[in-house]
Amino acid sequence: MANIQKGKSPFGIFSNFLFDGLKDPNSSEAETDNVTVKSLFDYTNRCLSDDEMLLNQEINLKQRPFYIEGGLGGFVLTKTNVKKNIDPRPNEKAPRKSYYSKYRWIAENIYRHERITLNDLYKFILKTKPEPFLTPIRGKSITRYEPVKLSTFESYINGMQMLGMIKDRDELVLTAEGQNMLKRNQANYNNILLDLIQSQFQEVNLTLDALESLIRFRMITRRIPTASELYKDVQKRLNISISSSWFSILLDLLSYTGYIRLTTQKTYYPYW
């Protein structure tokens, strides 16, 4: 019998995997990017054999497809190409309140001063009130916008130090990577940032490919790929030890480099 997720799809799990395999690069032959009859079967069978893919869902996975060669195993059904929209320059469309924009503003101002204390940079924010650091203060009749608290600003600095953009010193000084992100009119900003993000994930034995696979699996099973849900998958499926807040920040930064996509509702998608 077909395993149908009630209220989620008129198709069975097998059909969903079969359809999704026609556009998922994981179903193609690695050397050609072609989705063949045999590679599509292997993909579908592999998905149905993975008990962890359907976490917290009461679905019977005893259903197994079978394969008859018939001389058509190598027949090409479609071709998949992963096209990532990674522009090496900064993403000017990133929201001003995103970590991506906040980190970039901080890096630019440290680079401009060469070195500056945290307190002096915070005083500059209090004076100029840049948009990335304004937070709404609701009154009885009006809402005014004031800079974030010093403790909140310190958390941004700590994040940049963890990422490897700022040196861990009393004065704020950019690392070699941080300086290179700002050189040549920031022509290589996203490429260097992507390397720093990747290094952070590698420290907890999480690769970007594995993260992307988790996003695809969540989409295949018709579950919403939000940061909180992806964090649960990272813990349960891969046994990764990383704080949920730092994982969310890295995911935010990763999305604005263009490595993965996101919606305005903060759900994340791989490139097909």
Task: Average pLDDT across each block of 10 residues of the chain; the chain has 272 residues. List them in order.
Answer: 60 78 80 86 83 54 77 85 80 95 98 92 96 89 92 97 94 96 97 97 91 78 82 84 95 94 75 66
The pLDDT score that the predictor gives to residue 150 is 97
Three-state SS for the chain is: CCCECCCCCCCEHHHHHHHHHCCCHHHCCCCCCEEEHHHHHHHHHHHHHCHHHHCCCCCCCCCCCCCCCCCCCCCEEEECCCCCCCCCCCCCCCCCCCHHHHHHHHHHHHHHHCCEEHHHHHHHHHHHCCHHHEEEEECCCCEEEEECCHHHHHHHHHHHHHHCCECCCCEECECHHHHHHHCHHHCCHHHHHHHHHHHHHHHCCCCHHHHHHHHHHHHHCCCCCEHHHHHHHHHHHHCCCCCHHHHHHHHHHHHHHCCCEECCCCEEECCC
The model carries a pTM of: 0.72
The pLDDT score that the predictor gives to residue 56 is 46
The pLDDT score that the predictor gives to residue 138 is 83
- Whole-angstrom Cα Rg for the chain: 23
Q: What domains lie within the chain, and their CATH numbers?
A: 1-81 (no CATH), 99-198 (1.10.10)
The pLDDT score that the predictor gives to residue 220 is 62
- Token pair 């941080």 in the structure block, residue: 178
